[in-house]
Amino acid sequence: MVDRPRYDGIFERIEREHGWAHNPASERYRELIEREQLPFLDGPVAGPARAFGSPREAREWAVGLALGLGADLAAATRVREEWTLEGRPVRGRWAVMLAARMDYGAMMSAPSLRAGAEATRAYYALGDVAVGLARALREAGHGAVAQHPRYTASHWSGMLFVPHAVAAGMGRLGRSGLLLTDEYGPCVRLAAVTTDLEMEPDEPRSPEMHPTCTLCVLCRDACGGRAIPEARTFVRGVRKCALDAPACAPLFARWDGCGACIAACPLMQLYPERARAVHPRTPRPADGGEAPEP
């Protein structure tokens, strides 16, 4: 029997016990996600399946399309049952993993409502890419479902993004539980599209924690909820620092996303200057925190 994580109702508890910060910019992004993206995660497959010469060709087509739609990083991997939530089936044996970088300045202000709005903007950007890629796959005759990154009390994907992203070679696991990429450090958000299109998987990275994290504890010390432990334990065969989600939740709710662990990570200082500006492909809030126009 496969050992699978369970959804523990964390979003319901946040709503009931803590409430959410009033953050107009984030709230507007959430409205756009609800209206423009969540209704279109799945849909009918159109016509006969497009044939590809090989799984490698299929991967190059799907990953290239994801990058063309605006993903900052994209890679293919197999869907692993042990990285899906019990009771939340994920359709499709293959996945295109997606990452969107976040604005460096906004995230270095974390914990703040500015950082929370930027995280939600990245969720919106990823949702746009995921919905577009899933639609293109279905139009090519292959079943596909967009796995949206915005978790709410009423909607959440059954897929754990970080271990799948590590398996797709996009980065290494951090002490904070976040993905640490070579290009942008921890300053990314993740999503996926799962599909029945067979693809050659990208080369995986080691599932073990990033070497920097074996010595560095800056994210642990920056966490006001003390949610990041120092000791590592084995979780589904991987030795990691298992995040204490209930301890993280109050600050996550207070700041509508927190991000203190991202700002504290020393890999943020390696974030290339050329990559610090985010492409203006999604609505952006004004400096004063006003909601973006639809």
Residue 1: predicted pLDDT: 66
Could you tell me where the DSSP H helices lie in 140-259? 161-167, 218-222, 245-255
Q: Which residues contact 23 (CB under 8 A, 6 or more apart)?
A: 113, 116, 117, 120, 256, 289
Q: How far is it, in rounded angstroms, from Cα 213 to Cα 219? A: 9
For the segment 230-266, what is each residue's pLDDT rounded down to a tens digit?
A: 999 999 888 999 999 889 989 988 898 899 999 999 9
For residues 138 and 45, the answer to whether their CB atoms sit within 8 Å is yes
Could you tell me where the DSSP H helices lie in the chain? 10-13, 24-36, 55-69, 104-108, 113-139, 161-167, 218-222, 245-255, 260-264
For residues 14 and 252, the answer to whether their CB atoms sit within 8 Å is yes
Q: How far is it, in rounded angstroms, from Cα 183 to Cα 202? A: 17
pTM: 0.92
For residues 210 and 181, the answer to whether their CB atoms sit within 8 Å is no
For residues 5 and 158, the answer to whether their CB atoms sit within 8 Å is no
How far are the Cα atoms of 63, 149, 168, 255 from residue 131, in angstroms, in the given order?
14, 11, 20, 27
Residues of the chain where predicted confidence (pLDDT) is lower than 50: 280, 284-294
Residue 20: predicted pLDDT: 81
Q: Which of 158, 164, 98 is nearest to 131 (CA)?
A: 98
Q: How far is it, in rounded angstroms, from Cα 18 to Cα 11? A: 10
Residue 89: predicted pLDDT: 87
